[in-house]
Amino acid sequence: MNKSFNHPPKLAKWLLHKLTGWKVRYSALGDFDEIFHSIAEEKGSGIAIIWYWFQSIKSIPSFFIDKIYWGVIMLVNYSKLAFRNLLKNKQSSFINIFGLSAAIGVSIVSFLFFDFNYYRDTFHKNAANIFLVESVVENKNGDQLWGSTPIPLGPSLKGDFPQVKSFVRLNRIGGIVRFEDKVFNEVITFVDNDFFNVFTFPLLYGDKNKILTDNNIVLSYETAEKYFGNENPLGKQITLNVGNEIKETFLVNGVAQKLPKNSSFFFDVLMPYDKMNEMLSENFNDWTKDTRATFILLNNASEADYLKSNLSKYISVQNDANFDRKIKEFRLEPLRTMAQNSYKILGDIVYINILPGQTLSLLSSGLFLLLLACFNYVNISLISASGRFKEIGIRKVMGGKRLSIVIQFLGENIIFCMLALLMGVLLGKYFFAPGFNSLFRGFNFEVNVFENTRLLLFLIILLIATGIGSGLYPALYISSFQPANIFRGKSKLKSKNRFTKTLLAFQFVLSIILLVNGVTLIQNADYQSSRDWGYEQDQVITIPLQEKNRFIALNNAVRSNTNVVSTAGSQEKVGYWISRINIEAELNKYEVVQYGVGDNFFETYGMEIKKGRGFDKEIKSDIEQSIIVNETFAKMMNWDDPIGKRILFSQKPYYIIGVVKDFHYVDFMWKIEPVVMFKSPEEEFMFLAVKAKAGKVIETENYIEKKWKELYPDSPYHGFFQDQVFDIYLTAMKSVAKTCSVSAIISLIITCMGIFGLVTLSIEKRMKELSIRKVLGASVSSIAKLINNEFIKIFIFSFIIAVPVSYYLINLLLDSIWKYRPELSYLPFLLAGVLLIISAAITVVSQIYKASVKNPVDYLRYE
Amino acid sequence: MKLLSRSEEIVLMAIWKLQGNAYGVTIRQKIFEDTGQRWSIGAVYAPLHRIEKKGLVKSYDGNPVPERGGRSKVYYTVTAKGKKSLIQMKEVNESVWNDAPNLGVDKA
């Protein structure tokens, strides 16, 4: 045989090396070499090399399939093991899965909340180029953003700037709509006829190009249903009554499809903008009159900056016309951010204002719960790993690489997380989301993975994050044990594992924070319900007159009833109605809230006049030049005795004759502002307030309703009890408290489950030790003390950390939302600590008890 | 027992026919002699690996030789289970081909 050996091509050999599993590699590569050499002998090394390459490539498919085949078999093996393990520790598995799925359910709702807020108004095709024009009004307290803008601004912008493709103004006026026997109050939204070209609201019936002209009306889907049922309303005529007494008929020539859920503004009835000026007999070109919104559509969004810097010329036009309200500048707000910023804008058209604080707190509670659940899993898998040492040892001995063990454990974890995810989605869909929707009006969240692709993406990311987050550390830790140590019995998972303890401490801290949160918010809801409104709201019935000149008749009709203690009229409503004006005092301008009221107003509402006097029927000059201010106003002006001081309104002087105690005209999320109250003539009143005798309130209200129907049969009756005016707000407060309590309780349960799992496993590990102790005569309580000690130390440590952190956080939250709130007492912290320790104690004790009644013989037998 | 796949059957039979002299190269050669097809080395080893896992053949090492880059030849022999499997395949084959309508191929 030829002694000089040629060598097979190294590259091809390397390729084969990589392709073949170790079992096959040895003999197959040997075959390759053997044949290579025999060919090299016979036909020369060139041909042999060619053959080698050719044969290698030809063999690739088969080797590849071989490798995959065995990969699949291992996968099946791992899955079998995974399920077997899951079933072995049924208790802790269930604990973990339930905890994680509850956390996932809550996170889903948090995500939907964030998603809703972030993606509002994105469905408009032109969204990127639509801007809202805002006015900035100067105030002593700083600049205030307003959504309302002068009526002529829109058309002027289009006329002066070629960059403005079109404009759409929006205004809302209440009116009465009637079709055959159906009469309802509706809010009429007047829009310019480019409305459907600028915004994307698809029509169900009607031609986009023919609507919003002349005497035509467009209805929303729900409004059409209300008046016409399932019929097509096109061509039908309805009568409308807006502003003055004249009723006009209009033709329905469009019905919009159901508005998308993430639209920030809605409409019920749409009419052409020009019609509004006609019906209200107002001037087109009046720069003192505002419209609720002016939108512009630019050809290109990048031109917004150029436009912004050129808006100043309109400022002087506006300010010349309008003495009382001086605008400092006009701004352009992209449609994209309008809804998110709506909490900053006054007088805008966005329906749901969401404060950034709310989004943040909801997101963080979801995150907290997830962290808790993941920590649980990490802790429990670390400790339960000690039961699987033998399995790992054998695997390693049989040639398993560390990587494949890590993959095995990680894979088990992902299967587990998938189960939890499924349960979590179900929980979210049928429990948490409906719960949230019912607690907070106006939200209608749906957990629909098929429709909401962002939700699907979120869930996938969640799966990967929780799978890796909760599985990586245990997998790495467990796979690191050396088989020799395992079989020698030398490797024990230290029960004093610092990592486990830190995780548990973290869980305690999180639970305490959430508990403090929950308790404080419950306290707050309670406080909000019982806080003094600044006036006496019980026994008062308020009736919106809806039109001027109705007060005298109704007042006379009602006054004579023996159950009526007093009546009064006003132009504004006490409760969610803010009318602001600009006044001048001591040479400075101020924006204040105004009320125009009549005789007996303060008595009827039980408002206390602290200094001076109320309006006097006998004193004729009261109507001309007297005003009453609230305490906040006096404080603002730094007047100790405001009586007799002078202010200017619309260039006319008024003199303060009294100071009224501050009253809440809106709910406690808003600070009470300076209020100025004028005496108004009775013809101007829009509200009648009636104070009834105690116990006779409902009777009186029925009487008033009867009288109303006699006097004004064509107008719907909208009287309400004054003490219900903040009902929606108070219910919302209770809902917030409920939600936070729910998450606090969930976190408590998760933490207890974590403790439960830990204690169970830690006791099991120490059964030998405990059995020996028991045999030697230790009592249950001493054993209990042993185990408790560890947990108590962790608990105290966590408590010390948690208290200042939660104090800071909860103050932050409360301040950002409420202007009037209770002071933090020690109660929430005490309660949180007690709840936590009791739950933990019960959990630990129950397990200890179970352990103590076990027969020590069972555990000592093997030795 | 489950039936063997065609390639598994061919490889197993080749090993049986080689009666103790069966290793990668000779098995591949035998298959060429029997079927006239040149299988790639990978195509031999894939089914070989499977039938070894199934316990139909067992392997033992020979002595290392330089022609194999210092590796030994790995010989394969058919186990009792493998023999049963072959018998089963024979019976199945016969019953499948039995009483088939004439294919027009006459073997003298």
Q: What is the DSSP string of A266-324?
A: --SEEEEHHHHHHHTT--TT-TT-EESEEEEEES-GGGHHHHHHTTHHHHHHHHHH-SS
Task: Tell which residue, A768, A758, A755, has the closest CA to residue A863.
Answer: A768
State the CB neighbour count (10 A cutoff) for residue A492.
10
For residue B71, list chain A residues with Cβ-Cβ distance below 8 A: 26-27, 29-30, 33
Which of A37, A38, A63 is nearest residue B42 as measured by Cβ atoms?
A: A63
Q: How far apart, in whole angstroms, are the C-alpha atoms of residue A148 and residue A291?
A: 6
Q: Which residues of chain A have pLDDT under 50?
A: 1-3, 495-496, 863
**B26, burial (CB in 10 Å: exposed 0-12, middle 13-18, buried 19+):** middle
Cβ atoms of A271 and A279 closer than 8 Å: no
Which one has a higher pLDDT value, B51 or B103?
A: B51
Place of tokens 């490797």: A491
Answer whether A264's CB lies under 8 Å from A334's CB: no
Give the integer Cα–Cα distance in Å for A468 and A856: 40
Substitution target from A13, A16, A31, A52 for chain B, most B beta carbons within 10 A: A31
**Is A215:A250 a contact under the CB 8 Å cutoff?**
yes
B7: nearest CA partner in chain A: A62
Query: Which residues have C-beta within 8 Å of that of residue A368, sequence separation ≥ 6?
Result: A510, A513, A514, A743, A747
Give the pLDDT confidence score for residue B15 in this predicted structure.
95
All residues at 6 or more sequence positions from A345 whose CB lies less than 8 Å from its CB, including other chains? A134, A145, A146, A147, A333, A338
How many beta-carbon contacts under 8 Å exist across A and B? Answer: 76
Residue A721 per-residue DSSP state: E
Hey, is the C-beta of B60 within 8 angstroms of any chain A C-beta?
no
* C-beta atoms of B45 and A8 within 8 A: no
Q: Is the predicted pLDDT of residue B18 greater than 90, yes or no? A: yes
Bridge partner residues of B64 (DSSP)? B72
SS3 letters across A133-193 = EEEEECCCCCCEEECCEECCHHHHHHHHCCCEEEEEEEEEEEEEEEECCEEEEEEEEEECC
Q: How confident is the model at residue B25 (pLDDT cuts 50, 70, 90)?
A: very high
* Residue of A37, A38, A61 lying closest to B42 (CB–CB): A61
The nearest CA of chain B is from the CA of A59 a distance in Å of 4
pLDDT score for A215: 80
> What local confidence, expressed as pLDDT, does residue A1 receive?
44
pLDDT higher than 60, residue B94: yes
Tens digits of residue pLDDT in A460-515: 998 888 888 888 887 887 777 777 776 666 555 554 467 677 777 887 888 888 88
Band (B55; pLDDT cuts 50, 70, 90):
very high
- Average pLDDT value for residue range B47-57: 92
Write down the pLDDT at residue A318.
76
Q: How many CB atoms lie within 10 A of CB A575?
A: 19
CB count within 10 Å of CB B70 equals: 10
CB contact under 8 A, A29 and B71: yes
Asked if A548 and A684 count as a contact pair (C-beta separation under 8 A), the reply is yes
Residue B108's pLDDT band, with cuts at 50, 70 and 90, is: very low
What DSSP letter does each residue of A594-605 carry, written as one string? EEEE-TTHHHHH
- Taking the Cβ of residue A23 and every Cβ of chain B, the question of whether any pair is shorter than 8 Å is answered with yes
Predicted pLDDT at B95: 92
Q: Which residues of B touch A69 (CB under 8 A)?
A: 46, 50
Phi-psi region of A696 (alpha: psi -120 to 50; beta: other; left: phi over 0): alpha
Picking from A309, A310, A327, the residue whose alpha carbon sits closest to that of residue A318 is A327
CB A761 within 8 A of CB A573: no
Interface membership of B16 toward A (CB under 8 Å):
no
Instruction: Determine the pLDDT at residue A188.
Output: 85
Question: Does A669 contact chain B (CB < 8 Å)?
Answer: no
Q: Residue A6: what pLDDT?
A: 66
Q: Give B-chain residues touching A33 at CB under 8 angstroms.
A: 67-69, 71
pLDDT confidence of residue A3? 44
